[in-house]
Amino acid sequence: MPPPPASRSRKAQLIDRTATALFRARGFAATSMRELATELGLEAGSLYSHIKSKEEILHRVCFGLAEEFFAGFGAATADAAAPLAAQLRQAIEAHVRVLTRDSAASAVFLHEWRHLSEPARTEFLALRDRYEAGFRELIRRGIAAGELHAPDAAFAALTLLASLNWLPAWYRPEGKLTPNEIAHRLAEQLMRGLAAGAA
């Protein structure tokens, strides 16, 4: 996993933020190191003294956010005695908080991971599958306990995550709703569908 942002220099963090914004706006493939250097006010050659390649930044974004998603899910499900529906609600809200913390990084995480080279691409997909499996299992257990209702836990988990992952396309930090308000509203709406018909 990449080092936490706080442990890296301000210059390195600025490079990452600028590159992430460019990746979101233009796409990873269409962003060159020269364009990144220009955006930062650096000579292209001097940029290489800070990073080896633009994929290094993509790797940091993708695996850094993956770590945040797993941490949020782990915290939401830490209390095994809590009702499964409550754990799922907390997991949804944690997912939203990660997505809204840095919407540019979230958009890159969701759409530009395809440009990771091997073996990082396979590692990333394995993490994504494991994260989805966590939601799927939580929903499956909730159905078995009579707390949730869905004909297919796998379909319910994919639908839930697809709904949440659309958020970076419309979320604006300057909007009327705070990240916590958005997290609460989305969780309320999605949980209402899963609770319908539950015993």
| Per-residue confidence (pLDDT) for residue 199, from 0 to 100 | 46
Domains, the chain, with CATH or none: 55-195 (1.10.357.10)
Are residues 58 and 116 in contact, defined by beta-carbon separation less than 8 angstroms? Answer: yes
Mean pLDDT across 102-129:
97
Q: What is the mean pLDDT of residues 38-63?
A: 90
Q: Where residue 45 falls among pLDDT bands split at 50, 70, 90?
A: confident
What local confidence, expressed as pLDDT, does residue 90 receive? 97
Residue 7 has a pLDDT of 62
pLDDT in tens, 144-169: 999 999 999 999 999 999 999 999 98
Contact (Cβ atoms closer than 8 angstroms) between residue 62 and residue 109 = yes
Question: If you search the block for the tokens 């930090």, which residue do you land on?
Answer: 173
Residue 79 is inside which H or E element, if any? none
Contact 191, 92 (CB under 8 A): yes
Q: What's the CA gap between 112 and 107, in Å, rounded? A: 8
Residue 195 has pLDDT above 80, yes or no: no
Q: Pick 8 or 175 by higher pLDDT.
A: 175
Distances (CA, A) of 69 to 14, 62, 118, 129, 186: 23, 11, 22, 12, 17
Average pLDDT, the chain: 92
**Half-sphere exposure at residue 127, Cβ-oriented, CA atoms within 13 angstroms:** 21
Q: Which of 50-54, 56-60, 135-139, 195-199 has the lowest mean pLDDT?
A: 195-199
